[in-house]
Chain A
Amino acid sequence: MYNRDYRDLIGGGLMALLGTAVVIYGLMTMSVGTLQRMGPGFFPISAGFILAASGSGIFIPALFRPGTLDAIEWRPLITITASLILFGLILPKFGLVPAIMMLVATATLGQHKISPISIIITSLFLSLMSYLIFYLGLGLTLTMARWPY
């Protein structure tokens, strides 16, 4: 318990900032036009304005009340994000099977039970399944594995 509601202070603040940024960047890059002939900017800039207003509406009352803040699960957040980035980097170069292996291995680090055997079995099983479903079943063009050098 904190003496201010930091959760809504952060959330409301982020929304207010995002809304303001949308309005400013929109005004810089697009024409707003008139009601009769609306420019491309009219709708998104209005939405940005309303977003900034609701963000402030969340932010201000949060100043005057106590609140709690959820703990961030850093470990799964980092490992799972990293596993997806690695998949995106490996897939176009080396093909699907190495990408799956890397994803499974990295993503598994996000929790407590880590066993190399289960990683290998899971990734082989998933490679087989995706070959059957996506390649044979749906007829998509996917490179299973290759060596680019």
Chain B
Amino acid sequence: MDLFTNIQIGLSNALTATNFFYCLVGVTLGTVVGMIPGIGSIAAISMLLPITFHIEPTAALIMLAGIWYGTSYGGSTASILLNLPGTTASAVACIDGYPMAKNGRAGAALLMTTAASFIGGSIGILLLMLFSPMVAEIGLGLGSPEYFSLMVLGLIAATGISDGSFLKGFAMVMVGIIVGGIGLDMYTAVGRYTFNIPELSDGISLVALAMGLFGVSEIIASARQSQMTLIDKSNFKWKAIFPSTQERKESWLPIFRGAGLGSIMGALPGTGSSIASFMSYAIEKRVAKDPSRFGKGAIEGVVAPEAANNAADQTAFIPTLSLGIPGSATMALMLAALIMHGITPGPQLMTQEPDLFWGVVMSFWIGNILLVILNAPMIGVWVKVLLIPYHLLYPSILVFICIGVYTATYNIFEIWVVIAFGVLGYTLRILHFPVAPLLLGFVLGPLMENHFRRSMLISRGDLMTFIERPISGTILAITAFLLLWIIFSGYRNWRIRIAAQW
């Protein structure tokens, strides 16, 4: 099958009324969620996960993905207008976006970031369409040991490169693997850590875990914040919205540089859109003729990171959809949504479910176009969303969480699980443990165990199989280098800190 047949299949599937509707719902929610500081895309996706039980898998994935890339569009809005980043990836947009808003160029900044997001997103989708079939082709030739090694690499990269202490992230991955192992063992049907509670023999549900960790704990931490915001309305008059010729000229190259960098970073495990946007900002600052303008409202500093994080959002789907290996916690949720519908993610997905794969990919085009329409002319409407008082918002989110988990299985037990993980999530927050690696470990744990056990059965218990097989060995060597680098840079930082104390 060539690319054009696939595009045709995809478009006809993405443009059905139902799928179009869920795409619209996804991107609209994404925009709103991205703007509200505190609720990230992980929380929003986990809140909507139970709804996806009741709709078709294609529509479900289209909606969840829409939330994911929609938050990148919305995230920059809060950064530029309020200096409050709605998402981590858009924190960079504060550095130059907020000064632009203070100079009365908020409208222009928002319009240009929407354009940059669209261009970045489009380049990302193009690469996704071109490279996924190739990656899947390679993936078909890989066996269990390779998959196990790839997952180890993904987990180490995701915890090592992200912020905070590596050991803490690593501990969280282990907690995730342990929690993911609760339930009946898939080979022997022996109960593992079920404490004779019948509900636990099915395992902990991902929905309840994610909602507790990301929804409830977030709300507990932010319930007492009051949202007092002042926005200068004159920023949104027509003259202020339209970018000047100079601003447009200065933006083109940075947008393409950002998109290129973002595409690479998105596809690699561990480096998601946040790192892409920070790196792209650093690069723009270095190549600029006059770096002193940065931090005072340089348009390149706003558009390049924005293009980078949107491109990364799209290319992150390459390893997720073509190999079944998620590079981040959010991608792990996408995979889980597929697994819940009984679809095994992996290289065979593209050939077995071409409707689903290409439908979802083509819906990204529709979603990105919808986002431009939603964001550019309707900026004023979204700004009002920022003015909803949080004390009305959070009880509504709680109600939504409760109904969502309950209706996923019609068992009240799920609500108790949400509460337990909500309190756990809040405790981990207070103790500065990152929560996303826990989710990643939870989803990857059972898959890793399966591949590990299968490899050991085939190799008759010889651990060397992971090193002797060339591809698996190479992946593990990369992992070892990465691990050494993480330990070494941690040691160096520690030495510097100790030196500073003396």
Contact = CB atoms under 8 A, between A and B. Distances in A.
Interface residues of A, number: 70
19 contacts: A7-B430, A11-B433, A14-B431, A22-B178, A29-B193, A31-B190, A35-B456, A43-B452, A47-B174, A48-B178, A54-B171, A58-B168, A76-B219, A81-B419, A88-B416, A111-B390, A138-B51, A138-B54, A142-B403
B412 A88 contact: yes
A111 B177 contact: no
Interface of A: 7-8, 10-11, 14-15, 18-19, 22, 25-26, 29-31, 34-44, 47-48, 50-51, 54-55, 57-58, 70, 72-73, 75-77, 80-81, 83-85, 87-88, 91-92, 96, 99-100, 103-104, 107-108, 110-113, 118, 122-123, 126, 130, 134, 138-142
Contacts of A126: 395-396, 399
A76 B223 contact: yes
Nearest to B397: A107
Contacts of B171: 15, 51, 54-55, 58
A73 B423 contact: no
Contact of A91 (B51, B226, B412): B412
Contacts of B165: 58
Contacts of B246: none
Contacts of B220: 73, 76-77, 80-81, 110
Contacts of A42: 453
Contact of A40 (B177, B178, B192): B192
Given A44-B178, A58-B165, A103-B402, A36 B456 contact: yes
B240 to A, nearest CB: 34
B418 interface: yes
A84 B426 CA distance: 15
Interface in B379-402: 389-392, 394-396, 398-400, 402
A39 B456 CA distance: 12
B223 A73 contact: yes
A70 B429 CA distance: 9
Interface in B409-444: 410, 412, 415-416, 418-419, 422-423, 426, 428, 430-433
Contacts of B140: none
Interface size class of B (residues with CB under 8 A): 35 or more
A28 to B, nearest CB: 11
Contact of B398 (A55, A83, A139, A142): A83
Given A73-B220, A83-B398, A92-B412, A19 B431 contact: no
B391 A40 contact: no
Contacts of B456: 35-36, 38
Contact of A7 (B226, B395, B431): B431
B391 A19 contact: no
B407 A142 contact: yes
Contact of A100 (B185, B190, B399): B399
A55 B322 CA distance: 35
Interface stretch (B8-16, B87-95, B97-105, B457-465): B457-465
A34 B457 CA distance: 10
Given A43-B177, A84-B216, A110 B224 contact: yes
Nearest to A92: B412
Given A26-B193, A47-B177, A140-B54, A118 B453 contact: no
Nearest to B408: A140
Contacts of B407: 134, 138, 140, 142
Max count, chain B CB within 10 A of own CB: residue among A44, A73, A110: A44
B229 interface: no
Contact of B219 (A22, A80, A92, A138): A80
